[in-house]
Amino acid sequence: MQPLLEVNGVVKRFGGLTALDGVSLKMLPGEIWGLIGPNGAGKSTLLNVIAGVFRPDSGSVHFKGQRISGLKPEQICRLGLARTFQICRPFPKMTALENVLVAATFGAHGDRESPMARAEAMLELVGFPVPANTLADSLTAAQLRRLDLARALASRPQLVLLDEAAAGLTPGELADLQQLILKIRNQGVTFLIVEHLMRLIMQLCDKIVVLHYGRKIAEGAPTEIQGNPAVVSAYLGE
């Protein structure tokens, strides 16, 4: 099977700091991958390189067999790769629905569904808990995370990158998010998830990649990662 996403030897430097130091991974369609590692390990940087925010200093990223490193974020989004943000920044003076509508209009188009119908369906899918005409700047952090997810899904992605989507959620909201990710994956969507909550990662992911100082120190099924001495010392060693 052709990998959906292939990251090959990616290096990304910020001045003298090497945030990513030769990271490679290969994801198959329909998989859920977790990306973990201590603060500053390079997780968000890797998502940003994949999404086209940063161009790698060396190495490459391929999506559906096509080289995407070097393309602009909006070009990559149109190809079917969406992401949520560690800090979400919606258009504050637009309603929740309008925010999702922008993504539904901008992303890949379905044959039958109008952008408005798509936007409404995505808010419903994520269980958006307040009226769709609520202004974005009056939403709580948890509501913003759902809005950001609805926005990402509205562009009809085949691959979704989630950056700490579970931060600040209640146990109930967390369970909802977990069910939602599984439901969407069962429709064929692939996920790469950055997350601090080990329980969520262990329960949800088929594969886990561990970054430490920009290097991949482990990759494997949750059970393989759990007892890995390098992983344990990366978390406890500092």
Ligand X SMILES: Nc1ncnc2c1ncn2[C@@H]1O[C@H](COP(=O)(O)OP(=O)(O)O)[C@@H](O)[C@H]1O
List 4, 7, 10, 19, residue binding ligand X (CB under 6 A): 19
Size of the site for Mg ion (CB under 5 A): 2
Longest Cα–Cα distance of the chain, Å, equals: 54
Spell out where the chain has E strands. 5-14, 17-27, 32-36, 58-63, 66-67, 81-83, 159-163, 190-194, 207-212, 215-220
What tokens does 36 get? 């973990």
Question: Among 46, 4, 31, 28, which Cα is nearest to 163's?
Answer: 46
Are the beta carbons of 76 and 54 closer than 8 angstroms?
A: no
List 10, 31, 42, 156, residue binding ligand X (CB under 6 A): 42
Question: Among 20, 41, 44, 23, which Cα is nearest to 231's?
Answer: 41
Rounded to an integer, what distance in angstroms lies between the CA atom of residue 44 and that of residue 220? 20
Question: Among 209, 191, 218, 165, which Cα is nearest to 31's?
Answer: 191
Q: Would you count residue 43 as binding ligand X (CB under 6 A)?
A: yes
Q: Would you count residue 37 as binding ligand X (CB under 6 A)?
A: yes
Nearer to ligand X, 49 or 144 (CB): 49
Question: Among 162, 148, 35, 61, which Cα is nearest to 99's?
Answer: 148
Bridge partners (DSSP) listed for residue 69: 71
The region of 34-42, 115-123, 202-210, 230-238 touching ligand X under the rule CB under 6 A is 34-42
Q: Write the interaction track for Mg ion spanning residues 12-51; mark x where CB under 5 A is met and - where it is not.
A: -------------------------------xx-------
List 44, 69, 99, 155, residue binding ligand X (CB under 6 A): 44
Q: Would you count residue 40 as binding ligand X (CB under 6 A)?
A: yes
CB of 189 to ligand X, least distance (A): 23
CB of 158 to Mg ion, least distance (A): 23
Nearer to ligand X, 16 or 65 (CB): 16
Residue with the CB atom nearest Mg ion in the bound state: 44
The region of 39-47, 77-85, 117-125, 222-230 touching ligand X under the rule CB under 6 A is 39-47
